[in-house]
Amino acid sequence: MRWLLRVLTDEADRRAVESDLAELYELRRRQDGDRAAARWLRRQHLVYPLHVFLDRVRAAVSDWRALMRHLWRDIQAHLDQVDQPLLIFKSARDKVVDPSSLALIKKGVRSTDLTVVNLERSYHVATLDYDAELIFTTSSAFFHRLANKERGRVTSQ
pLDDT tens digits along 70-99: 888 888 899 999 999 999 999 988 888 888
pLDDT tens digits along 124-149:
888 888 999 999 999 999 999 999 98
The domain locations on the chain are 2-74, 82-156
Q: pTM value? A: 0.56
Task: Kindly indicate the confidence band of residue 3, based on its pLDDT and cuts at 50, 70 and 90.
Answer: low
Look at residues 46, 3, 58 and name the one whose alpha carbon lies nearest to residue 21: 46
pLDDT at position 154 is: 61
How far is 45 from 52, CA to CA, in rounded Å? 11
Cα–chain center distance at 123: 14
8 Å CB contact between 55 and 4: no
Helices (H), 9-157: 11-32, 34-78, 100-108, 132-156
pLDDT reading at 26 higher than 80: yes
* Single-letter amino acid code for the residue at 131: D
